[in-house]
A and B are shown apart, each in its own frame.
Chain A
Amino acid sequence: MNINKSNPLLLHPLNKWMKKKKWSWFPHQIETFHHVQTGSDVVVFAPTGAGKTLTGFINPIDDLIKLKKFKGLHTLYISPLKSLANDIVRNLEKPIKDLDLNISFQVRTGDTTPYKKQKQKQKPPNILITTPESLALLNSYENAKEFFHNLKYIIIDEIHTFLDNKRADLLSLNIERLQTYSPNLQRIGLSATLKNKQDAKKWLCRKKPKIVSYENSVLPKIKILESKERIPWSGHMATYSINEIYKEIMKSKLTIIFVNTRAQAEYMFKNLWLINKKKLKIAVHHGSLEKNLRLKVENNLSKGLVDCVVATSSLELGLDYGDVEKIIQVGAPKGINRLLQRVGRSNHNLNTPSKAILVPTNRFEFIEAKAAIEEIKKNNLDKIDLKEGSFDVVAQHIFATACAGQFNINDLYKEIIKAYPYKKLKLNDFKQLINLIQDGGYILKNYDQFKRIFQLRENKNIYKLVNKRETRKYRMNVGTIIENPMLKIKLGTKTLGNIEEVFIQNLSQGDSFIFAGQVLEFQSMKNNLVQVKRSKSLISKIPSYSGGKMPLSTNLANSVRALLAKSNMWDLYPEQITEWLKRQKYISKIPKKDEYLVEQFPRKKNFYTVIYTFAGWHANQTLGFLLLRGFKEFNYKPLGFVANDYAIVLWSLKEVKEIKTILNLGLLDKHLDNYLEETSIVKRFFRDNAIISCLIERRLPGMEKTGKQVLFSSDLIYTVLKKNEPDHILLKSSYEDAKKNMIDYDRLREILKKIDKKIILKKLTSISPLAVPIILEINRENLSKKETDEYILEDLENEILKEANVLSIN
């Protein structure tokens, strides 16, 4: 038997290196190599530790060696994170250096110096490791075609993270551009295990699409922290278990503690330091920290110089820090995929299981954690829904295209609809987007003499950028990730990172807050720099980053419902949880898997209605607003509501008698438009749309000082546009975004479709045990911004009047 035929990789240039390392090829590596060699686009699904990165590079390295001294760019590697890009370079370096292969490779991200970038453009490496945004930028240069025309492979790493967001749209458009430049280009996608593998294939592959899949038989060992303390009813900070978490850190060589928000990260980090008697080396890592601080933590992590890192999703992806022994997840897992991704950060070795400990911060999270562990045992992953391409991203892409040179709109349209998210993009919408980039695309044609791109007189299908200066504007505004306005924090002359402007506005001089693991005191804000000094105070406000709040996945929600209903399992839970559920069963009811429990009870002169939907907080939030309207219609005099991932509570002056009449699909159809009209949800998405489509410019730190940048409140623009041109393409686009993201329209619709037949109504004399956590969350007013403003003004005025002993004004 010809052994080379069964495993062609034994002849691969890397085989020698594999042998030296005493490693053998994985079956999926052999399969991928074969498919790519025979001209297929491939998506590879494999767990971490299964040599995924190498799998992507097998064909490119083989090809480069065969081609001998290939000049120019041969392979492009797209990574979702800058930190991951750096890690890939470290991994690629080892075999290439050990074998002394004549292959050049470099990284190019937002962190690469302009000098280096310039050199890369003049003399491209064989392999370039970059991000979707940097790729978009490269495509906007006039020499893009020349730069990419010999490109053989594009590798998309962690492709599962790209499928359901605007970055995916941007990336898909840019991949099609590369395909136009280099028709022979082959696509290789690398992914964690996915439920809907076919979708990933459809998204990426064009030529003889193939799926290669490798499932890990070793399951991760995940358990819930066994705490002697009481799990709190409500809250998200896990203060109760801090000593036990510390003990767990001490037991392992290297631990990553994952939390769900940046605020939690800072809080957890601070609390660990307060009890750090053993002087363990503990660090914090999140997206707002200054680049140098982040890199330092990453470096220390890979060298094993720290004992523990507290991190947000910033450390979630792909990083290969082999020494990480244990993962601690603090707070709700929110989704199976996400938890698996995080757990996979420990022990990058296929044959030993990853180890993780879940720390629920409240009682519902305990059930959620338990459910997540069950689903992982069953390998029941969350489905990732492919999204329809967004309009604003196309607008940005049109601008980029114009920056690279004049273009034919028909060719561009044909190229765009090859990208999977834009298969259904209508020519008419596309033309409106051309107009948007040209002059804002307003019906009122005021800007004819000021166009950004214009049609050539000799050929109306060809558009050209009006002047070179515009390319700079595009480059300052590339990308689909929009952060809230941020300010730089300075300690002395040292920059610590960025913090949300809204948060700083709430501070007065002398107020303290935690950032980068230190308690800082706010001193002043000048030229958009926040000057701080170290504070001796231990009391502090916490940075309230708005990012990172994700809804519970439908899959996990279903599992939580199923688990709740299994009363034979309860005795295995901590006593307090068992007690909680038993009392609920006695006083009210535990809903069955497909039932929707509604509880009603009087409390403090008001009437409360609690609905357990398990729909995730976005859908619940929407449902809450709709129910307010429904209740108003029936004259129940509703006063407010609070929603979380599991339930909604509404309180009203009058008893809600017709809940079954109100709670159904009609509610959505009747009130949704009104709801969107009156709240600021669409407005918030309009801001992103206006920035992504380059209608208004992105605000960048440091830019304010030069005074060159003109900033506009997108709220003002939204208001003017909505009043005068409600059918404008950007309003349409913002509405779609709101529907998908904040309102969770499809999910809510699914639930409301079947809810009326499944409602279990319980009239109680007082609050039920299950309702306690959500009742505890009632502390914020649920008023729209406009209403809040008026309320604050009114209230302040009244207070002052009272003080002044004046009863009324005319």
Chain B
Amino acid sequence: MYYQLINFGNEEFHAYPNKSLYWKRLNTLIVSDLHIGKSISYAKNKQFLPPYDTKEILNKIFVSLDKIKPSNLIVVGDLLHDVFSTLSIKDQDYKNLSQYMKNTNFIWIKGNHDKNIQIEGFKNFTNYKIEKFLFTHIPIETSLFQICGHYHPKVKISHRGKTIFKTCFVHNEKIFILPSFGILTGGLDIHSEQISDVLGKNNLSIYPVGQDKVYKL
């Protein structure tokens, strides 16, 4: 798989087109905003989205784990969409997950969507510190470098009279925001107020995600 090399906090990260981030030195895979079970949570409001998102997200994760065999898997928040989400995870997938967890340390950081949800056998954290990096769902006041999610960043690209929106990885000097790893999840313009409040407007490094490649702007 092609990856884009990203330097953040003087460390090398690899950004993959499947919207995961890999920290090679510590053999750590990072994903964000999976929103497992989003479809089923909308079904309770009678919006019947195709119920295949959970299966697809998990398969995507399993493929990555098989390929990379990371020591750590960090989810920086919103692993689950809401309390109904676990309904959509089949027993077999639970078993598979547990199997993978034997070789990979699973660090589940709580997001705004899943802060009150527990799954048996899975520990979760408000945030998690490794060396000078803090993994958290929403950035906080700190002098550490932060790697987070929450915003589902997208970038508007106007070029030669055409405008497209692309999911992206984005960071400034201190804060890195991952794209959503989910299937039915939307996105937010990186120049929107919400993201600007966090990252500022200037000196952003933006990495749009293409079909088989992560680009650099």
Contact A450 B156 (CB under 8 A): no
Contact stretch, chosen from B75-83, B102-110, B128-136, B209-217? B209-217
Contact with A along B32-71 (1 / 0, CB 8 A): 0000000110111111111111011000000000000000
Residues of chain B lying within 8 A (CB to CB) of residue A695: 47-48
**Whole-angstrom CA separation of A521 from B82 in the bound complex:** 43
One of B46, B47, B50 near A724 (C-beta < 8 A) = B50
A-B contact pairs, 28 of them (CB 8 A): A440-B48, A446-B40, A446-B51, A450-B40, A450-B43, A450-B44, A450-B48, A452-B48, A466-B46, A506-B163, A695-B47, A696-B47, A710-B42, A710-B45, A712-B49, A716-B184, A723-B56, A788-B164, A789-B210, A789-B211, A790-B210, A793-B166, A794-B215, A796-B159, A796-B215, A800-B217, A809-B216, A810-B5
Q: Does B158 have its Cβ within 8 Å of any Cβ on chain A? A: yes
One of A697, A710, A720 near B56 (C-beta < 8 A) = A720
Nearest-Cβ distance from residue B44 to partner chain A, whole angstroms: 5
Q: In the complex, what residue of chain B is closest to A435 when comparing beta carbons? A: B48
Contact B156 A505 (CB under 8 A): yes
Q: Does B95 have its Cβ within 8 Å of any Cβ on chain A? A: no
Residues of chain A lying within 8 A (CB to CB) of residue B45: 710
Q: Does A444 have its Cβ within 8 Å of any Cβ on chain B? A: yes
18 additional A-B pairs beyond A446-B87, A697-B47, beta carbons within 8 Å, are A440-B48, A442-B52, A446-B43, A447-B51, A450-B46, A466-B46, A505-B163, A506-B158, A695-B48, A696-B47, A711-B186, A717-B184, A724-B52, A788-B162, A789-B211, A793-B208, A796-B217, A809-B216
Nearest-Cβ distance from residue A618 to partner chain B, whole angstroms: 23
The verdict on A442 contacting B215 (CB below 8 Å), with A447-B43, A796-B159 known, is no
One of B51, B158, B186 near A442 (C-beta < 8 A) = B51
Contact A789 B217 (CB under 8 A): no
Contact B48 A792 (CB under 8 A): no
Q: In the complex, what residue of chain A is closest to B164 when comparing beta carbons? A: A789
CB contact list, A257-288 vs B, under 8 A: none
**Whole-angstrom CA separation of A712 from B38 in the bound complex:** 12
**Whole-angstrom CA separation of A696 from B210 in the bound complex:** 27
Nearest-Cβ distance from residue A389 to partner chain B, whole angstroms: 23
Contact B52 A444 (CB under 8 A): yes
Q: Count contacts on A: residues with CB < 8 A to the other chain.
A: 43
In this complex, the member of B51, B87, B186, B210 whose beta carbon has the largest number of chain A beta carbons within 10 angstroms is B51
Nearest-Cβ distance from residue A785 to partner chain B, whole angstroms: 9
Residues of chain A lying within 8 A (CB to CB) of residue B88: 446
Q: Count contacts on B: residues with CB < 8 A to the other chain.
A: 38
The verdict on A795 contacting B159 (CB below 8 Å), with A720-B56, A789-B210, A809-B216 known, is yes
**Whole-angstrom CA separation of A796 from B44 in the bound complex:** 43
**Whole-angstrom CA separation of A576 from B201 in the bound complex:** 57
One of A447, A505, A810 near B40 (C-beta < 8 A) = A447
Q: Does A797 have its Cβ within 8 Å of any Cβ on chain B? A: yes
Q: In the complex, what residue of chain A is closest to B165 when comparing beta carbons? A: A505
Q: Does B157 have its Cβ within 8 Å of any Cβ on chain A? A: yes
**Whole-angstrom CA separation of A657 from B184 in the bound complex:** 47
Q: Does B25 have its Cβ within 8 Å of any Cβ on chain A? A: no
Contact with A along B111-149 (1 / 0, CB 8 A): 000000000000000000000000000000000000000
Contact with B along A538-560 (1 / 0, CB 8 A): 00000000000000000000000
Nearest-Cβ distance from residue B81 to partner chain A, whole angstroms: 12
Q: Does A316 have its Cβ within 8 Å of any Cβ on chain B? A: no
Contact with A along B155-197 (1 / 0, CB 8 A): 0111111111010000000000000000110100000000000
Nearest-Cβ distance from residue A784 to partner chain B, whole angstroms: 11
Q: In the complex, what residue of chain B is closest to A447 when comparing beta carbons? A: B43
**Whole-angstrom CA separation of A440 from B40 in the bound complex:** 11
One of B47, B52, B215 near A710 (C-beta < 8 A) = B47
Contact with B along A790-810 (1 / 0, CB 8 A): 101111110010000000011
One of B47, B52, B162, B208 near A712 (C-beta < 8 A) = B47
Residues of chain B lying within 8 A (CB to CB) of residue A493: none
Nearest-Cβ distance from residue A193 to partner chain B, whole angstroms: 45
Residues of chain A lying within 8 A (CB to CB) of residue B208: 793
**Whole-angstrom CA separation of A794 from B2 in the bound complex:** 14
Q: Does A661 have its Cβ within 8 Å of any Cβ on chain B? A: no
Contact A793 B48 (CB under 8 A): no
The verdict on A790 contacting B52 (CB below 8 Å), with A440-B43, A809-B216 known, is no
Nearest-Cβ distance from residue B65 to partner chain A, whole angstroms: 21
Contact B156 A470 (CB under 8 A): no
Q: Does A388 have its Cβ within 8 Å of any Cβ on chain B? A: no
Residues of chain A lying within 8 A (CB to CB) of residue B159: 792, 795-796
**Whole-angstrom CA separation of A663 from B82 in the bound complex:** 55
Q: In the complex, what residue of chain B is closest to A445 when comparing beta carbons? A: B51
Contact A716 B183 (CB under 8 A): yes
Nearest-Cβ distance from residue A487 to partner chain B, whole angstroms: 15
Nearest-Cβ distance from residue A250 to partner chain B, whole angstroms: 38
**Whole-angstrom CA separation of A797 from B43 in the bound complex:** 41
**Whole-angstrom CA separation of A800 from B159 in the bound complex:** 12
Contact B50 A789 (CB under 8 A): no
CB contact list, A271-330 vs B, under 8 A: none
Nearest-Cβ distance from residue B215 to partner chain A, whole angstroms: 5
Q: In the complex, what residue of chain B is closest to A721 when comparing beta carbons? A: B50
